[in-house]
């Protein structure tokens, strides 16, 4: 084989090796790209797992906060009344009473005192308040009497009052006025407030509970 033929064979071999070399480089580049993608996917998965854990922690914190808020906004529990604090005259009239936050609280239901959506005392309501006034003078003389109106959460529909709070204030004023003008309670011993639907005795989720929430309370604050 002469020199010319040897060179031709070498050139042919080199030409044949070029595609193989190119294919090897391409394969390495492709594998490197795959490795980079795999690393990126692993990183994203780790970040996702971390975010998932943070979300679980946030949900647990939110649930705990909601529980605390529910406890804070729950209706205040009334303390049991001792036997010596029983008042048969109020029991006969269907008037509730009990200790709440350390104060004797007399709760007169609106079924006794007022027609629906009205702030004018009924005759039965006047008799009930006369009985309450007699008790206040006998048992809690010299105290301050907070007359507080309450409603359920149903919106005002057929009434001259534009809100439950306005209605509760007028009802409390009607009771306070009767206590002062007809029952001899001193005006400067009275404080009037209207809570509307914002201080319920029970959740407003049934007619029975709504009836409990519609009331005027007389809270006795003893002076030191």
Look at residue 154 in the predicted model and tell me its pLDDT: 93
The Cα–Cα gap between 83 and 37 comes to: 79
Q: What is the pLDDT of residue 84?
A: 52
* Main-chain dihedrals φ then ψ at residue 19, nearest 5 degrees: -60, -35
Token pair 């605390």: residue: 68
Let me know the angle formed at the C-alpha of 22 by 18 and 23, rounded to the nearest 5 degrees. Answer: 115
Please state the pTM of the whole predicted model: 0.64
pLDDT at 170 over 60: yes
The predicted-structure confidence for 76-121, as pLDDT tens digits, reads as follows 555 555 545 789 999 999 999 999 999 999 999 999 999 999 999 9
The strand pairing partners of 219, in sequence order, are 105, 146
Handedness of CA 173, 179, 181, 184 (dihedral sign): negative
């Amino acid at each position: 084989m002469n020199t010319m033929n040897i060179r031709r064979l070498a050139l042919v071999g080199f030409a044949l090796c070029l595609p193989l070399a190119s294919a090897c480089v391409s394969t390495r580049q492709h594998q490197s790209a795959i490795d980079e993608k795999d690393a990126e996917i692993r990183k994203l998965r780790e970040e996702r797992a971390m975010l998932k854990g943070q979300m679980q922690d946030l949900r647990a914190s939110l649930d705990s906060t909601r529980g605390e808020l529910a406890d804070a906004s729950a209706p205040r529990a009334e303390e049991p009344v001792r036997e010596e604090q029983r008042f048969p005259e109020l029991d006969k009239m269907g008037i509730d009473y009990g200790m709440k936050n350390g104060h004797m609280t007399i709760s007169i239901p609106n079924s006794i005192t007022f027609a629906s959506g009205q702030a004018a005392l009924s005759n039965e309501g006047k008799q009930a308040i006369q009985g309450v006034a007699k008790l206040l003078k006998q048992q809690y003389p010299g105290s301050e009497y907070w007359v507080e109106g309450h409603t359920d959460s149903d919106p005002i529909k057929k009434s001259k009052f534009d809100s439950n709070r306005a209605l509760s204030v007028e009802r409390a004023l009607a009771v306070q006025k009767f206590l002062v003008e007809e029952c001899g309670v001193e005006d400067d011993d009275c404080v009037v407030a209207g809570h509307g639907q914002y201080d319920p005795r029970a959740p407003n989720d049934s007619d029975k509970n709504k009836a409990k929430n519609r009331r005027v309370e007389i809270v006795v604050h003893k002076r030191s």
